[in-house]
């Protein structure tokens, strides 16, 4: 396969590569991945790793999925890329149609971009221009405490309360931040929800006719530590957004494509937003691509004789045909009964194993499960804490890829994972915790 030795490859990486979210001065060297199949990643160290983070939440049907690989190869022989202004192509038109059919209401207009962050930038820019096209000065964005929306400037601004962006604080624009009433199994969140809604009401009062949009990760805040909220809360937020005449943006970059058990969190919550951002699972984890889907009425506000009323935004690889082909193949798999059965089986195993784990490790708190995601909190370990680094290392040494989010441990497997593999992951969590 390669003419270089593994050590030579590691040396090249150490000399020239800058890894994301990594303090290279203290982090262990990266694991050299030779390949991956299903839920398993094969390391050059001879180890096998169960991918319990779905490779940063992107992988749905397992690594090396042959149907998706074949769809990409076939598309590459036909049309690998074409400029997406003045041109269109079959996989883009079909993917847009397919996604709109799955989404609720008149979420019928698809804007393609490249990753979750750009999908958010697009949604925020559309929201702002939707108002200015109509002569309105609505420009304030409302976000929720702990929300994470990506690493570009608009997305960082919306996610500034996540606490990751201190170095860039003076590059960000102000947003209003409402509390997020995080909840867990057996918890009664009603009081926290009422408090959050009271703050939201106060924000609306203070910014009458100035709010462009609310942005929220529906049902689960991912990067904040798999913090979950009840559908009732989203319904109340949507009702307030509607009453205030402002737009509602759902960031379903992580929750989309089956993660919460439903195809999309908005369906599970019974709320139709005005704009929805999709990315991570879109191509089944094969290629970077994202969609910002708008309600038809929003699109209509950009039409007219004036070029400057159009949405003058785009990226070099907008609607890349290979990504679209991967997305279509991934949707075929996602909608098949076999995959839906796996999604239910994963949730069943989570719901069986998590209470068990809580009973055996009394220091754990706030157990929570939503669809294929299970999480719990090990109190007192902040981001970058020694315990969280040690846990990550212990999991890897036991053949499981898990990355604690601060004091939160979570399991977010690809849907193809076998029962026995998922049980092994839970056994490993139990084992590693018992050695702490
Ligand atoms: C990952 C993520 C993003 C950013 O997506 P990228 O592809 O990393 O740019 C945005 N929102 C949510 C909810 C995410 O989980």
* C-alpha span between 376 and 357 (Å, rounded): 10
Q: How far is the CA of 117 from the centre of ligand 1 (A)?
A: 6
Residue 435 assigned as binding residue:
no
Residue 109 assigned as binding residue:
no
Q: How far is the CA of 196 from the centre of ligand 1 (A)?
A: 24
Q: Which two tokens stand for residue 328?
A: 């279509």
Domains delineated in the chain: 6-64+337-434 (3.90.1150.10), 68-334 (3.40.640.10)
Residue 314 assigned as binding residue:
yes
Residue 385 assigned as binding residue:
no
Q: How far is the CA of 4 from the centre of ligand 1 (A)?
A: 34
Residues 6+ apart with CB under 8 A from 225: 146, 375, 377, 405, 406, 407, 408, 410
Residue 18 assigned as binding residue:
no
Q: Give the predicted TM-score (pTM) of the model.
A: 0.98
Residue to mutate, 20, 122, 149, ligand 1, most ligand atoms under 8 Å from C-beta: 149
Q: Which residues pair with 178 in a beta bridge?
A: 144
pLDDT at 274: 98
Total residues found in the chain within this entry: 436
pLDDT at 387: 86
Which is the closest atom of ligand 1 to the Cα of 290? 7
Which is the closest atom of ligand 1 to the Cα of 117? 9
pLDDT at 163: 79
* C-alpha span between 381 and 195 (Å, rounded): 27
Which is the closest atom of ligand 1 to the Cα of 120? 10
Residue 191 dihedral angles phi and psi, to the nearest 5°: -65, -45
Ligand 1 near 252 CB (within 6 A): no
Q: What is the pLDDT along the chain (436 residues), one digit of tens a residue?
A: 558 999 999 999 999 999 999 999 999 999 999 999 999 999 999 999 999 999 999 999 999 999 999 999 999 999 999 999 999 999 999 999 999 999 999 999 999 999 999 999 999 999 999 999 999 999 999 999 999 999 999 999 999 888 789 999 999 999 999 999 999 999 999 999 999 999 999 999 999 999 999 999 999 999 999 999 999 999 999 999 999 999 999 999 999 999 999 999 999 999 999 999 999 999 999 999 999 999 999 999 999 999 999 999 999 999 999 999 999 999 999 999 999 999 999 999 999 999 999 999 999 999 999 999 999 999 976 666 788 889 999 999 999 999 999 999 999 999 999 999 999 999 999 999 999 8
Three-class HEC string of the chain: CCCCCHHHHHHHHHHHCCCCCCCCCCCCCCCCEEEEEECEEEECCCCEEEECCHHHHCCCCCECCHHHHHHHHHHHHHCCCCCCCCCCCHHHHHHHHHHHHHCCCCEEEEEEECCHHHHHHHHHHHHHHHHHCCCCCCCEEEEECCCCCCCCHHHHHHCHHHCCCHHHHHHCCCCEEECCCCECCCCCCHHHHHHHHHHHHHHHHHCCCCEEEEEECCCEECCCCCEECCHHHHHHHHHHHHHCCCEEEEECCCCCCCCCCCCCHHHHHCCCCCEEEECCCCCCCCCCCEEEEEEHHHHHCCCCCCHHHCCCCCCCCCCCHHHHHHHHHHHHHHHCHHHHHHHHHHHHHHHHHHHHHHHHCCCCEEEEEECCEEEEECCCCCCCCHHHHHHHHHHHHCCEECCCECCEEEECCCCCCCHHHHHHHHHHHHHHHHCC
Residue nearest to atom 6 of ligand 1 (CA): 116
Q: How far is the CA of 315 from the centre of ligand 1 (A)?
A: 17
Residue to mutate, 147, 222, 266, ligand 1, most ligand atoms under 8 Å from C-beta: 222
pLDDT at 226: 98
Nearest to 65 by CA among 350, 334, 254: 334
Ligand 1 near 253 CB (within 6 A): yes
* C-alpha span between 75 and 286 (Å, rounded): 14
Which is the closest atom of ligand 1 to the Cα of 280? 7
Q: How far is the CA of 149 from the centre of ligand 1 (A)?
A: 5
pLDDT at 218: 98
Ligand 1 near 150 CB (within 6 A): yes
Q: How far is the CA of 289 from the centre of ligand 1 (A)?
A: 11
pLDDT at 385: 75
């Amino acid at each position: 396969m390669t003419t270089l030795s593994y050590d030579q490859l590691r040396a090249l990486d150490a000399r020239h590569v800058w890894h994301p979210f990594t303090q290279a001065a203290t982090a262990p060297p990266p694991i050299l991945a030779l390949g991956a199949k299903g839920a398993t990643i094969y390391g050059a160290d001879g180890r096998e790793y169960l991918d319990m983070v779905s490779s940063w939440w992107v992988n749905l049907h397992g690594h090396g999925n042959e149907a998706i690989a074949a769809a990409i190869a076939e598309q590459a022989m036909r049309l690998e890329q074409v400029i997406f202004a003045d041109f269109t192509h079959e996989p883009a038109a079909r993917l847009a149609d397919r996604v709109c059919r799955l989404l609720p209401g008149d979420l019928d207009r698809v804007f393609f971009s490249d990753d979750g962050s750009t999908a958010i930038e697009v949604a925020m820019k559309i929201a702002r221009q939707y108002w200015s096209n109509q002569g309105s000065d609505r420009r304030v964005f409302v976000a929720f405490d702990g929300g994470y929306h990506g690493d570009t400037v608009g997305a960082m601004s919306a996610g500034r309360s996540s606490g990751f962006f201190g170095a860039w604080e003076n590059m960000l624009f102000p947003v209003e931040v409402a509390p997020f009433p995080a909840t867990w199994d057996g918890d009664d969140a009603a009081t926290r929800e009422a408090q959050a809604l009271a703050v939201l009401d106060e924000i609306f009062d203070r910014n009458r006719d100035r709010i462009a949009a609310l942005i929220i990760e529906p049902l689960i805040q991912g990067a904040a530590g798999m913090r979950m909220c009840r559908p009732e809360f989203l319904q109340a937020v949507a009702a307030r957004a509607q009453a205030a005449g402002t737009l509602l943006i759902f960031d379903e970059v992580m929750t989309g494509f089956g993660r919460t058990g439903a195809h999309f969190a908005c369906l599970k919550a019974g709320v139709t937003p005005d704009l929805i951002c999709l990315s991570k699972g879109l191509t089944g984890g094969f290629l970077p691509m994202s969609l910002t889907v708008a309600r038809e009425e929003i699109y209509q506000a950009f039409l007219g004789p004036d070029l400057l009323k159009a949405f003058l935004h785009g990226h070099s690889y907008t609607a890349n045909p290979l990504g679209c082909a991967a997305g279509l193949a991934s949707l075929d798999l996602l909608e098949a009964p076999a995959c839906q059965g796996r999604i239910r089986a994963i949730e069943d195993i989570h719901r069986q194993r998590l209470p068990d784990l809580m009973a055996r490790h009394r220091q754990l708190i706030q157990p929570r499960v939503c669809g294929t995601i299970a999480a719990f909190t090990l109190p007192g370990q902040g981001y970058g804490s020694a315990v969280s680094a040690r846990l990550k290392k212990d999991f890897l040494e036991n053949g499981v890829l898990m990355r604690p989010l601060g004091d939160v441990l979570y399991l977010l497997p690809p849907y193809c994972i076998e029962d026995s593999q998922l049980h092994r992951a839970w056994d490993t969590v139990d084992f590693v915790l018992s050695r702490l």
